[in-house]
Amino acid sequence: MKILPLCAAATLLASPALAQTKAPDPARLKATVEALVRFGTRHTLSSATDPKRGIGAARRWGAAEFGKIAKGCGGCLTVETVADRFSGPRAPDGVEIVDVLAIQKGMGDPDEVVIVAGHIDSRVSDVMDATSDAPGANDDGSGTALVIEAARVLAGETFDGTIVYALLSGEEQGLWGGKLLASTAKARGWKVRAMLNNDIVGNTVGQNGRIVADRVRVFSEGIRSSEDQKAGLTRRATGGEDDGPSRALAKKIDTIAQENPQIGLDVFAVRRPDRFGRGGDHTPSLELGYPAVRFSVGIENYDQQHQDLRTENGRVYGDTVDRMDFPYLARVTALNVATIRELAAAPAAPATVSLDGALSMDTRVFWDAVPGAAAYHVYWRRADAQDWTDGRIVTGATQAVLTDVVVDDHFIGVAAVAKDGMESLVTFGGMAPRK
Ligand SMILES: [Zn+2]
How does pLDDT run across 240-249, given as a tens digit for each residue? 999 999 999 9
Q: What sign results for the dihedral spanned by CA atoms 282, 295, 114, 385?
A: negative
Type and span of the H or E element at 44: none
Q: Mean pLDDT throughout 3-13?
A: 39
For residues 231 and 306, state if they share a domain. yes
**Rounded distance from Cα 136 to ligand 1 centre (Å):** 8
399 and 258 in a single domain? The answer is no
3-state secondary structure of 321: helix
Residue 43 sits in the same domain as residue 170: yes
Q: Ligand 1: distance of its center to the CA of 110 in Å?
A: 30
- Calculate how far, in angstroms, residue 335's C-alpha sits from the geometric centre of ligand 1: 19
Q: How far apart are CA 328 and CA 326, in angstroms?
A: 5
Is residue 9 over pLDDT 50?
Answer: no
**Residue type for 23, please?**
A
Residue 425 CA to ligand 1 centre (angstroms): 27
Last residue of a domain, one of 322, 345, 368: 345
Question: Percentage of the chain with pLDDT > 70?
Answer: 94
Q: How far does the centroid of ligand 1 lie from the alpha carbon of residue 329, in Å?
A: 15
Q: In sequence order, what are the residues at sequence separation of 6 or more whose Cβ sits closer than 8 angstroms to the Cβ of residue 12?
A: 5, 374, 375, 393, 417, 421
The structure's pTM equals 0.94
What range does the domain containing 413 cover? Answer: 348-431
14: pLDDT strictly greater than 90: no
Q: From ligand 1's centre to the CA of 175, what distance in Å? A: 10
Give distance in angstroms: CA of 183 to centre of ligand 1. Answer: 20
Question: Band of the pLDDT at 127, cuts 50, 70, 90?
Answer: very high
**What is the band of 21 on the pLDDT scale with cuts at 50, 70, 90?**
low
Residue 5 lies in a domain: no
pLDDT-derived band of residue 6, with 50, 70 and 90 as boundaries? Answer: very low
Q: Is the dihedral of CA 25, 26, 29, 35 positive or negative?
A: negative
Of all residues in the chain, the percent with pLDDT exceeding 90 is 92
CA of 243 to the centre of ligand 1 (A): 26
Per the CB < 8 A criterion, the answer to whether 404 and 323 are in contact is no
Domain membership of residue 101 (yes or no) is: yes
Whether 12 is in a domain gets the answer: no
Task: Please give the distance, rounded to the nearest whole angstrom, from the Cα atom of residue 42 to the centre of ligand 1.
Answer: 12
What is the per-residue pLDDT for 48? 97
Taking the centre of ligand 1 as the mean of its atom positions, its distance from the CA of residue 124, in whole angstroms, is: 11
Answer whether 170's CB lies under 8 Å from 274's CB: no
CATH for 423: 2.60.40.10
305-319 tens-digit pLDDT: 999 999 999 999 999
Single-letter amino acid, residue 409: D
286 within 8 A of 104, measured Cβ to Cβ: no
